[in-house]
Amino acid sequence: MVERVYYTTFDSPLGRFYIGSTERGICKIHLPSEDAGSFFAWLKRMFPDADLVQDDDRYEHRLICEELGSYLSGELEEFRSALDVRGSDFQKRVWKEVGTIPFGSTRSYLDIAIAIGNANACRAVGAANGLNPIPIIIPCHRVIGANGSLTGYGGGIDMKRRLLELERSVSQRQRRFAD
């Protein structure tokens, strides 16, 4: 039986997201600032024998679109969508560690390298972070330079800044209400 990879789009205030999924979960989120053609090229490269099927009504697609909308509105901090993460063992270790960065917080590439047990792997961590197929859910935008600078992001530095500002404003609002 031929594997199927499903896709849909999600229009947001930031622009159009492209979303890919398999039977196991979300496998790709393509940010609005990226070329749509590269989304389909990635799917074909990762799933060369699969049929690509547009399915806007698929449960996984409805859920992730709802979650992205809630996240971008400042109403959601943790995603519950199932994921189908594709990458090398090293990349998966990096992405798993990146996934532990709390909403509204940041970590440096060095912090991630140390956490995975290789303080000398900062550049490799940066490369893995840049290849994250599921940004926002695996929050690679929360990884910054050791000096606090905003460095590389697939969606562009402006989008990274906007996502971090969104999370900070939600976190600050929550702290004000907690006091």
**What residues are annotated to the active site?**
140
The answer to whether the beta carbons of residues 153 and 140 sit under 8 Å apart is: yes
Two tokens at 141? 């935008």
What gap in Å lies between CA 9 and CA 29, rounded to an integer?
10
Angle, vertex CA 157, rays to CA 153 and CA 163, nearest 5:
85
What gap in Å lies between CA 120 and CA 128, rounded to an integer?
14
What gap in Å lies between CA 6 and CA 13, rounded to an integer?
23
Two tokens at 127? 């490369």
Beta carbons within 8 Å of 97's beta carbon, 6+ residues apart: 112, 115, 116
